[in-house]
Amino acid sequence: MIYHGFNIFMLEVGAIARKYRGSEEQGMTRKQDILMSFLKLLADHFKEERSVQFYANSLYVTPKHLTRTVKEITTKTCGEFIDEMVIAEAKILLDDLSYSVGQVADYLHFSDQFFFSKFFKRRTGLSPKEYKNSL
């Protein structure tokens, strides 16, 4: 179920990208280019990097400009996109019973299991252990 939810999320991102991409002849606007570049970077680095500052630096824009641009086009902030990607990956890993909560926290580069559990519970309403037990 989580796997399909993640796929639906990625399809929505793709639909947003197609909607704002326009025809190949017209090209993308700078804002659309920033959004697409951000989403590509996010897909590559969300496991290690969760700060908007990292993505903004990689795109040579300020964090404020990046967040404003992404929110203008998608109605979501960069932080929301980052958190959704991390939570989706965490759920996929937690679905695999061979991974412990600590291993998932390490894989997603959290400083410790407690911080990961707090992050997960704040965004899902369940602790990682409760989530695993509900499967």
pLDDT of residue 20: 66
Q: Taking the model in full, what pTM does it have?
A: 0.78
Residues 6+ apart with CB under 8 A from 112: 105
* Nearest of 91, 131, 133, 132 to residue 108 by alpha carbon: 91
Q: How far apart are CA 84 and CA 8, in angstroms?
A: 12
| φ/ψ (deg, to 5) at 30 | -60, -40
Whether pLDDT at 36 is above 50: yes
* Mean pLDDT across 32-59: 94
pLDDT in tens, 63-84: 999 999 999 999 999 999 999 9
Q: How far is CA 45 from the centre of its chain?
A: 9
Average pLDDT of every residue of the chain: 88
CA angle 95, 49, 115 (to 5 degrees): 60
In b/e form, how buried is each residue of 108-124, taking b as 16+ CB within 10 angstroms?
bebeebeebbebbeeee
E strand residue ranges, the chain: none
- Residue 56 confidence (pLDDT) above 60: yes
pLDDT band for position 8 (cuts 50, 70, 90): confident
Cα(39)–Cα(68) distance, integer angstroms: 15
